[in-house]
Structure formats: structure tokens, C-alpha cells
Structure 1
Amino acid sequence: DDKNPSLFFPWDFSEHNTGREAQLESQRHSFVVTMGRMHSRGKGISASALPYKRTPPSWLKISYQDVEENICKFAKKGLTPSQIGVILRDSHGIAQVKTVTGSKILRILKAHGLAPEIPEDLYHLIKKAVSIRKHLERNRKDKDSKFRLILVESRIHRLARYYKKTKKLPPVWKYESTTASTLVA
């Protein structure tokens, strides 16, 4: 009886799982742990499932040169990499550019010298901060917008720090609210 671990650890139900405990134990291992959002309580666990097969579909009759030409054409029109991906998916039937070309959209744009100078997610945060600031010029007493602007700008600073560390932004790049509208214009 001295060797029975349940005497020392009464909360260990590994041998005695019956009924509800067994059901809870099986559920506990089936949850997907996801990262929470920075300034809200959401977990954001919904996502599309990527296909396991990493080869282009057999019905797709477009060559990788044509895909690269389309990507460059859309980038010259001023579309972002996400918008290019949506257009290729919806109107050309290319679910994933990487399966067809072997490289992602941004890498193709970099190879052709068409990549945006500011990463896309940072660009959209700056755009949001500019629109909130413009709103605050008209509505000075809007305290909630003032608070949201602080949150958005702190996200901008955090993301800029990451992009400087990974060399996607120059080390001297700095976000300033006064010059932000010229960045997104």
C-alpha cells in the first residue's frame, strides 16, 4: 500500500477515470490552445484548413510564369499582397500561390522589386490611426476613440520594433503621428 501513488496524490485520477472524469479528460486533450489578442479577450480560433496536398491541382492549367506575371500586373496597379491573393483565388482558381509557383506572393514581389516599403499589417494599423486622429479633430470629446488611438499606436510601436529586429524595416524608421498621413497617402 505504501507504493500506491493515489495515497500521496489524491487528485491524480489517471487510474480511476470513470464516467464524467473520463469524458473531461478526453476533452481536455482535444482543445486547441491559441494565442489571445493583444487588446481584447478574443482568442480567434477560426481559420480555414489548408489542404494537405502541396502540389497544384490537376485541373489547374496555368503555368507559374503566368501566375508571376499576374502578380506583378496586380502589384503595379497598387494592390496589396492580400488583395492579389484574393483575386487569384476568386477569379483564377489559384487557392495557394505557393503550390503553383513554389514561393509566396511577397517573395515574388520582392524578386521583381515591387514589394511595399512598409509591411502590410503595419500599413493598415497606420491607416487606422490616421483615420482615428482625423475623427478626433472633429470630435474632441470622444474619449473612447482617444483610448482606442492609444491602443492602435502601441500596436504600431510593437510591430515596428519586431520589423526592425527582423530587418524588414530600416533601424532608423520611426512612427510619428504628424507624418503618418504621408505614409498611407
Structure 2
Amino acid sequence: MARMHTRRRGSSGSDRPATDEPPEWSDVESDAIEARVVELAEAGHDPSVIGMKLRDEGVKGTPIPNVKLATGKKVTQILEDNDASPELPEDLRNLMERAIGLREHVDENGQDHSNKRALQNTESKIRRLVNYYRGDELDEDFKYSYDNAVELLE
């Protein structure tokens, strides 16, 4: 999500080159890439970390600049096909971890008003994401609460 709760503009980054096919120097079979993705997921890595590891380390020493171009599937699709997808979406999980840390900080430091506001903003983003994922990746009756988040992330 972009800068939802501030007046600042989002930070710009570099764009990937527009291309429809993987580079010729990265000629790894798609089956080997999918096996490496599943292996990294079973080691406990998130989909974004899997993409970075494939970019940096690659498969058998050959880097994979873009998994979707090389295999025709995104990392999350590969994980779903092999029943290795995480139980919570990665963005929701990261926001819940942030909210838990903020809640613990606010409990210890009650006068920290800026972090109280940050906790409110983070929890509102979580509720918005829960509404987005409800039914597809989350149960229909899932509701966010601090206790529920702590239980899910343990």
C-alpha cells in the first residue's frame, strides 16, 4: 500500500525493463525453478524473499531475474500448485507483526502518542486487507483482533 496515512508522496523506484521473454543467459528449466521455489518455501521463506534469493543466488549458480518470465507463473502460483503456500498472505502477516510490536510498545509506554496513532493506522490497514482477502484466502468469519493476531503468528 502506498502512503495512505501521510501527506507525503510515495517514493519512486526503478522500473524493470519491459520484456516478454527471459534473457538468454538465464536458461534454467522451469521445473528446476519450481523445485527451488518449493524448497525455499519449505525452509520458511516468504514469497518476496524467495524472489530475491532466486535473483541473487539462482538455481545451480544461474540467477533467475524474473520467475514469471522463466516459468509462466508467479511465485505464489507455484506455491499454491505445490500446496506450499503460507496460511496468511505475506502483506497481512507483515502488518500483523508490526501491529503486535506497536501494541507491546504502547503498553509499556502509554504517553507515546505518535506510536498510538501509528498503531491505529496499522490496524485500520489490517482491517482493510482482511476485508479484501475474506472469502478467498481467509475464512468468511475472520475478524482481526490483537489476540487473534498473536495466536496466528505463533
Instruction: Give, in angstroms, the shift of residue 48 of structure 1.
Output: 2.8
Provide the secondary structure at the position in 2 that maps to 1:179.
Answer: helix
2:118 is aligned to: 148
Provide the secondary structure at the position in 1 that maps to 2:57.
Answer: helix
Instruction: Give, in angstroms, the shift of residue 180 of structure 1.
Output: 1.4
Corresponding letter in the other structure for 2:67: V
Corresponding letter in the other structure for 2:91: D
2:31 is aligned to: 65
* Kept in 2: contact 1:97–1:105 (CA 8 A): yes
1:13 is aligned to: none
Corresponding letter in the other structure for 2:114: D
Higher RCO, 1 vs 2 (CA within 8 Å, ≥6 residues apart): 2
Out of 74, 79, 95, the residue aligned to residue 45 of structure 2 is: 79
Corresponding letter in the other structure for 2:116: K
Instruction: Give, in angstroms, the shift of residue 88 of structure 1.
Output: 0.5
| Aligned pairs, number | 150
Q: Using the alignment, how far apart are the partners of 2:2 and 2:91 within structure 1? A: 18
4+ long deviations beyond 3 Å: none
Kindly indicate whether residue 142 of structure 2 is the aligned counterpart of residue 173 of structure 1: yes
Structure 2 unmatched runs, 5+: none
RMSD over equivalenced CA pairs, Å: 1.6
* Kept in 2: contact 1:130–1:180 (CA 8 A): yes
Q: Using the alignment, how far apart are the partners of 2:84 and 2:29 within structure 1? A: 21
User: Normalized against structure 2, the TM-score is what?
Assistant: 0.90
Q: Using the alignment, how far apart are the partners of 1:157 and 1:179 within structure 2? A: 13
Provide the secondary structure at the position in 1 that maps to 2:131.
Answer: helix
Instruction: Give, in angstroms, the shift of residue 94 of structure 1.
Output: 1.0
Q: Using the alignment, how far apart are the partners of 1:53 and 1:60 within structure 2? A: 14
2:6 is aligned to: 40
Q: Using the alignment, how far apart are the partners of 2:149 and 2:2 within structure 1? A: 28
Provide the secondary structure at the position in 2 that maps to 1:137.
Answer: helix
Corresponding letter in the other structure for 1:141: Q
1:90 is aligned to: 56
Cα pair distance change 1:36/1:132, threshold 3 Å: closer
Out of 10, 17, 30, the residue aligned to residue 51 of structure 1 is: 17
Corresponding letter in the other structure for 2:88: I
* Kept in 2: contact 1:36–1:42 (CA 8 A): no
